[in-house]
């Protein structure tokens, strides 16, 4: 590939991912560069740039001519993007190879390399190059897996793998293993786990339990903020609690898609996600516990009321018997009832009266 076809991350960062880009010089400059890359790699079918916008993977620039039936305009959502693509864009990952995977255009083996801005920690976009699965298998058959794999990796990863290839491969394996362990814990957690931006509250990631519990689809959750999941009257309190530094736990309410409110216990911890403050939150539904506590409180209150009524009735009976005895004495007749005993509190104990 010619040296002047290299992508500048600062230039790529200027793209806006919408139809208006096609009228801007920066778009045509990048489009021409991708066409050069496509022409210099004859085994590749598509060369393109992807980015993350509002939680969705979209096309920035496609090497295809604009009049091609396979052309993807700026801002077109790439629904078939794999978890690895989303993770690399979200967590500033490294280059990787995946496939064969199928999308609306066919079945591909794809190589991806991050295009970084001036800061090495910020990924402006993801450069992708697709080779048909048939072409890939034929190359393996004729040239053997190890040799062709290294050759295609060097071609797909462009400038990023020219030096220290073995070190990068080892690092990639370590990262993949670590991410695999984290993903297993994240996705299989038996309670809701969310990652969201501290400033805006925008949801950056959720585990599958969240969608199942609240009744939303993963796509519906990706465009929401944490405050969209809370009833209006608790959002201010929730915002204050979420800015508590360090690790903390507090109770709040979540609103499910069907409108039902759920009492929740939120345990949160602060973290930094590609240079900006974020929060990792574990959310446990305690609605049943709250209902049981309220039922217990009502039962105890009813028992106390019943006890007061019974004690009052017994005291009234004792007082009536004493009054009868007093009237009989005034009439010169013997008492009708025996002496009344007192309980431990000094009050008459009606249960120990005899006639």
- The per-residue DSSP string of 188-231 comes to T-SSEEEEEETTT-BEEEE-HHHHHHHT--HHHHHT-BGGGGS-
Residue 148 in contact with residue 137, Cβ under 8 Å? no
Fold of 192-285: Beta-Lactamase (3.30.450)
Q: Is 68 helix (H, G, I), strand (E, B) or coil?
A: coil
Q: Give the pair of three-digit tokens for residue 61.
A: 């620039």
| pLDDT of amino acid 167 | 58
**DSSP string of 222-285, one letter each residue:** HT-BGGGGS-GGGHHHHHHHHT-SSEEEEEEEEE-TTS-EEEEEEEEEEEEETTEEEEEEEEEE
The set of long-range contacts for 306-315, using a CB threshold of 8 Å and a minimum separation of 24, is 314/348, 314/349, 314/350, 314/351, 315/347, 315/348, 315/350
340 backbone φψ class: left, alpha, beta (φ>0; ψ -120 to 50)? beta
Residue 287 in contact with residue 269, Cβ under 8 Å? no
| pLDDT of amino acid 116 | 82
Q: d(Cα 63, Cα 286) in Å, to the nearest integer?
A: 52
| pLDDT of amino acid 253 | 84
Q: Enumerate residues 6+ apart whose C-beta is below 8 A from 98.
A: 82, 84, 109, 110, 112
Q: d(Cα 5, Cα 125) in Å, to the nearest integer?
A: 16
134 backbone φψ class: left, alpha, beta (φ>0; ψ -120 to 50)? alpha
Q: How wide is the angle at C-alpha 224 spanned by C-alphas 221 and 228, nearest 5°?
A: 110
| pLDDT of amino acid 12 | 83
Q: Is the dihedral of CA 224, 225, 226, 229 positive or negative?
A: negative
**Mean pLDDT, contiguous 10-residue spans, the chain (355 residues):** 60 83 89 89 90 90 91 92 89 86 91 81 84 82 58 58 54 54 62 80 82 83 80 77 76 84 83 77 84 81 78 79 82 74 48 41
- Written out in words, the top-level CATH class of the domain with range 3-162 is alpha beta
| pLDDT of amino acid 148 | 47
Q: d(Cα 321, Cα 329) in Å, to the nearest integer?
A: 12
Q: Is 146 helix (H, G, I), strand (E, B) or coil?
A: helix
Q: d(Cα 271, Cα 275) in Å, to the nearest integer?
A: 10
DSSP single-letter state for residue 286: -
DSSP single-letter state for residue 63: S
Q: Give the pair of three-digit tokens for residue 25.
A: 């010089």
| pLDDT of amino acid 261 | 86
List, in sequence order, every beta strand (DSSP E) within 54-122.
56-62, 96-103, 106-116
């Amino acid at each position: 590939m010619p040296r002047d076809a290299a992508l500048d991350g600062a230039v790529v960062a200027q793209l806006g991912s919408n139809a208006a880009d096609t009228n801007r010089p920066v778009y045509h400059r990048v489009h021409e560069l991708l066409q050069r890359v496509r022409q210099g790699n004859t085994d590749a079918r598509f060369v393109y740039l992807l980015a993350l916008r509002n939680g969705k993977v979209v096309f920035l620039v496609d090497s295809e001519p604009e009049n091609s039936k396979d052309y993807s305009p700026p801002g077109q959502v790439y629904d078939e993007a794999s978890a690895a693509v989303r993770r690399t864009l979200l967590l500033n990952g490294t280059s990787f190879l995946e496939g064969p995977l199928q999308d609306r255009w066919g079945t591909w083996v794809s190589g991806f390399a991050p295009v970084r801005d001036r800061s090495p920690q910020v990924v402006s976009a993801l450069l992708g190059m697709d080779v048909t699965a048939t072409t890939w298998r034929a190359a393996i058959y004729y040239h053997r897996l190890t040799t062709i794999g290294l050759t295609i990796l060097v071609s797909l990863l462009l400038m990023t793998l020219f030096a220290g290839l073995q070190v990068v491969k080892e690092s990639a394996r370590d990262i993949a293993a670590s991410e695999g362990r984290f993903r297993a814990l994240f996705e299989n957690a038996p309670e809701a786990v969310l990652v969201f931006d501290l400033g805006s509250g925008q949801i950056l990631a959720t585990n599958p339990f969240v969608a199942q519990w609240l009744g939303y689809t993963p796509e519906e959750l990706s465009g929401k903020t944490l405050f969209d999941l809370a009833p209006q009257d608790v959002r201010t309190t929730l915002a204050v609690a979420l800015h508590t530094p360090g690790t903390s736990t507090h109770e709040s309410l979540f609103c499910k898609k069907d409108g039902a409110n759920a009492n929740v216990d939120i345990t949160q911890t602060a973290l930094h996600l590609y240079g900006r403050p974020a929060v990792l939150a574990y959310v446990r539904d305690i609605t049943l516990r709250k209902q049981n506590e309220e039922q217990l409180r009502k039962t105890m209150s009813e028992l106390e009321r019943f006890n007061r009524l019974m004690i009052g009735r017994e005291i009234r009976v004792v007082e009536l018997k004493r009054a009868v005895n007093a009237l009989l004495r005034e009439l010169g007749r013997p008492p009708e009832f025996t002496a009344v005993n007192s309980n431990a509190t000094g009050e008459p104990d009606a249960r120990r009266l005899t006639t």
